[in-house]
């Protein structure tokens, strides 16, 4: 009982005000968009699991809203044969063999990798982004082989996106996520050949981004024009947020369509401690959602400065993080080849 009380109170006091401020501002921005009847909100990736529930609390305008199974890794893979995607999938830092890179960054199997690469390339050690041009040459040389593997999955995923209304030419999709550079949004814009809009907590650059003749409109709530390591605490220590804003499943990595009833089966990657013990995290999230409800009920609002101070105070003082929450601060970073990360250890708390 004491453990659950501690977890719930932490969720209410730390996560609650952050989420409440974000979804309230999102709701305000949506009201300012034109032709609201044609707006549909999609909550992205694992963070969307909580955002969907929080948005439903504040969504007084009854804007259509749904959770979207998506991940950077999955989009990297199904667009791997499209040259315009490489600036998003290949430039992110990585050190290791080319074989391991293709498996970690794109979730290709060993069998796929051996089909794409000559034996001499398999153990080639790369360092990104320095070796960006080299990796792009390898992808270009194996483009047709990659396309044979990726196009069937891409077709199934496009069917899924159509089923949830994301491909509807008469509607404007609005994507919600923590941030930061809008990679998922840009890849969806490329994949769908359609303008998209995104509203994030924090962005490295807000504005109109041209993606293959279409526009990804990127907006923020807390801060923009910030970069990792630049001193903005909510970005530099965003691992604390990402650890708590996650779904019961691991990273979305694949999709299969049932040919009998056209339903979709989703496949997920490895689980961390958090997913294996999701009851504890659910208690934290319940506390946060209770705070969102109270903020709406009693018309409580926080300024951006108050949220920034709240966040900085908690993530720089281990004694403010209840002992029961410590195991929950873990997230996988396979995309960079780093395995699991623990922000408590990473930041020396």
Model confidence, pTM: 0.90
Mean pLDDT of 250-270: 87
pLDDT digits (tens, 9 = 90+) for 15-27: 999 999 999 999 9
Residue 339 pLDDT:
60
Distance CA 161, CA 155 (A): 10
pLDDT digits (tens, 9 = 90+) for 214-256: 999 999 999 999 988 889 999 999 989 988 998 888 888 899 9
Residue 86 pLDDT:
94
Residue 44 φ/ψ, nearest 5 degrees: -90, 145
Which residue in 123, 115, 110 sits closest to 141, CA to CA?
115
Residue 140 pLDDT:
93
Residue 39 pLDDT:
84
pLDDT digits (tens, 9 = 90+) for 76-119: 999 999 999 999 999 888 999 999 999 989 989 899 888 888 77
Rounded CA Rg of the chain = 20
**Run of H or E including 255:** strand 252-257
């Amino acid at each position: 009982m004491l453990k659950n009380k501690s977890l719930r109170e932490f969720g209410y006091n730390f996560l609650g005000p952050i989420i409440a401020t974000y979804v309230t501002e999102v709701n305000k921005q949506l009201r300012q968009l034109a032709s609201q009847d044609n707006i549909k909100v999609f909550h992205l990736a694992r963070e969307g699991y909580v955002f969907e529930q929080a948005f439903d609390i504040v969504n007084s305008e009854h804007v259509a809203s749904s959770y979207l199974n998506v991940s950077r890794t999955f989009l990297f893979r199904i667009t791997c044969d499209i040259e315009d995607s490489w600036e998003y999938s290949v430039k992110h830092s990585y050190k290791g063999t080319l074989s391991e890179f293709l498996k970690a960054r794109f979730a290709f199997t060993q069998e796929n990798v051996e089909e794409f690469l000559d034996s001499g390339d398999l153990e080639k050690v790369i360092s990104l982004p320095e070796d960006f041009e080299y990796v792009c040459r390898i992808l270009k040389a194996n483009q047709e082989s990659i396309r044979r593997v990726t196009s069937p999955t891409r077709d199934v995923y496009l069917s899924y996106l159509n089923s949830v209304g994301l491909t509807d030419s008469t509607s404007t999709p609005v994507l919600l996520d923590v941030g930061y550079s809008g990679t998922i949004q840009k890849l969806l814009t490329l994949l769908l050949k359609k303008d998209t809009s995104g509203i994030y907590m924090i962005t490295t650059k807000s504005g109109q981004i041209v993606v293959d003749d279409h526009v990804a409109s990127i907006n923020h709530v807390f801060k923009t024009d910030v970069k990792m390591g630049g001193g903005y605490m909510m970005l530099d220590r965003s691992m604390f947020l990402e650890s708590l804003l996650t779904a019961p499943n691991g990273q979305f990595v694949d999709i299969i369509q049932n040919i009998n009833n056209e339903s979709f089966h989703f496949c997920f990657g490895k689980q961390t401690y958090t997913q294996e013990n999701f009851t504890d995290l659910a208690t934290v999230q319940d506390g946060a959602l209770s705070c969102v409800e109270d903020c709406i009920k009693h018309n409580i609002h926080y300024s951006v400065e108050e949220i920034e101070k709240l966040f900085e105070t908690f993530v720089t003082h281990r004694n403010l993080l209840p002992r029961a929450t410590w195991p929950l601060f873990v997230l996988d970073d396979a995309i960079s080849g780093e395995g699991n990360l623990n922000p408590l250890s990473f930041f020396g708390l």
